[in-house]
Amino acid sequence: MPTNFKTFLKLHRVSLILAVLSFVFYYTFAYHLQRTDFVKLLTLFVALFFFCFKLIQFEKLNFRFLLGLGIIFRLVFLFIEPNLSQDFYRFIWDGHLVANGDNPYLYTPDDLMKNMVSIIPNADVLYEGMGSLSARHYSNYPPLNQLLFALAAFIGGKSMFGSLLVLRSTIILADIGVFYFGRRLLKNLNKSPHLIFWYFLNPLVIVELTGNLHFEGVMLFFFILSMFLLSINKWKVAAVVMACSISVKLVPLLFLPLFFKYLGWKKSIVFYSIIGITSVVLFLPFNTPEFIDNYTKTISLWFSNFEFNSSIYNIAKKIAIHFDAKPWEFIKEYGKITPILTIAAVALFTFLPKKYDLNRVLWSMMWVMTIYYFISTTVHPWYPIFLVLLSIFTTYRYAIIWSAAIVLSYFAYSQTDFNENLWLLAIEYTSVYGFLVYEIVTHHNKK
């Protein structure tokens, strides 16, 4: 055995043990976990977060070692179907529609099952797997996301496994891209590059993106690439890439006004124009007279019909019900207020700060997204992943606490009717709000 290898084993013995345990736990998560087994799920998550914390603490300067671990942990999930999410059935369904030249924004799966289902391989399996909620609504995934679904469906053909492999490979590559450009951006902003490991080794990121095939990782790749390009003053190319991020998930639309003071009004006009033109080009292949109406209705459901793992909304609903409000009426009224409050928050962080460098832009993004999620009716477990990435460019770490505490919301997955446990949600949000208040006070005292 070479002397260098013996020395490495001796110096990194504890880290190697943690790495092996993490691998075993991720393997157990992928192949031996039912989402109804909440106790097992919680135990695995808690252990993996502890291992993640210790690995970063012990090896934060060992770039290759931690990068390799992050990739290996993701590869554990490569050949298995997601066990916590059924969204991938709809991804493959939409992908086959697009690959066949059909518009996924014009037909619901319910409609297609009655008419032209023969064009979709494994239609019965996909339809049953996606669930009735998804099946009765038009697709809400933006155009670039649809093209990625189509690529997976085209390569996979009639094999669901083949399509899953393409989807997962795409997400893994996107995460590696987030790591690469995120690390470079940290260096450009004079921050420690090891902070990117709080994203890359985060169990929530690995499980929800690679494991459960949520395309937030692809959105974040384009987003962080855009931020990197801004940091080296390639703002026109950054605008094109930002449009790609929006065309995977619409979330970055929240941040567009925040670039106004950073770029100045002359550059901003060009920047926004490029984003607008690129977005139109990406949407153009799907544009029909019915498209805008169908897509708008589907997106509006997130504000007025769906609720999951909310904080302020749950409190407001309990108070409203106490005064005899009807829950199904209250959520619609609340859904009208949420966009107004979000716009107000964006305006506040757009015009209030006097100094507006890229650090301040990322800081403002973090706060805008935090406020948006705090007031939202729906906060799925993978939503705070964007916050985790933004937070590493600031001195705040409450988003990392949230990425660990949000595992408590998975309790609803263990219930046949998806009923939430409000006591567990109270623990989740108490830890998040509590740590946030602690950090705000700490930062204030340092001034």
How crowded is the C-beta side of 425, counted as CA atoms within 13 Å?
A: 20
Angle of helix 327-351 versus helix 358-375 axis, rounded to 10: 170
In whole angstroms, what is the distance from residue 97 CA to residue 243 CA? 23
Sign of the CA dihedral with 331 first, then 334, 336, and 340 last: negative
Give me the long-range contacts of 364-371 (CB less than 8 A, separation at least 24).
Answer: 364/258, 365/254, 365/255, 365/258, 365/390, 366/390, 366/391, 366/393, 366/394, 366/396, 366/399, 368/254, 368/255, 368/258, 368/342, 369/251, 369/254, 370/399, 370/436, 371/341, 371/342, 371/345
Here the tokens at position 306 are: 């769906």
Phi, psi of 82 (to 5 degrees): -55, 140
Note whether 166 and 155 are within 8 A (CB).
yes
Task: Please state, as a whole number, how many other Cβ atoms lie within 10 Å of the Cβ of residue 354.
Answer: 7
Sign of the CA dihedral with 32 first, then 47, 434, and 374 last: negative
In whole angstroms, what is the distance from residue 404 CA to residue 401 CA? 5
- pLDDT per residue, tens digit, the chain (447 aa), is 456 667 767 777 899 999 999 999 999 999 999 989 999 999 999 999 999 999 999 999 999 999 999 999 999 999 999 999 999 999 999 999 999 988 999 889 998 888 765 678 888 899 999 988 888 888 989 999 999 999 999 999 999 999 999 999 999 999 999 999 999 999 999 999 999 999 999 999 999 999 999 999 999 999 999 999 999 999 999 999 999 999 999 999 999 999 999 999 999 999 999 999 999 999 998 888 788 888 877 777 666 677 899 999 999 998 988 787 888 788 888 888 888 999 999 999 988 877 789 999 999 999 999 999 999 999 999 999 999 999 999 999 999 999 999 999 999 988 877 889 999 999 999 999 999 999 999 876 665
Here the tokens at position 344 are: 């107000």
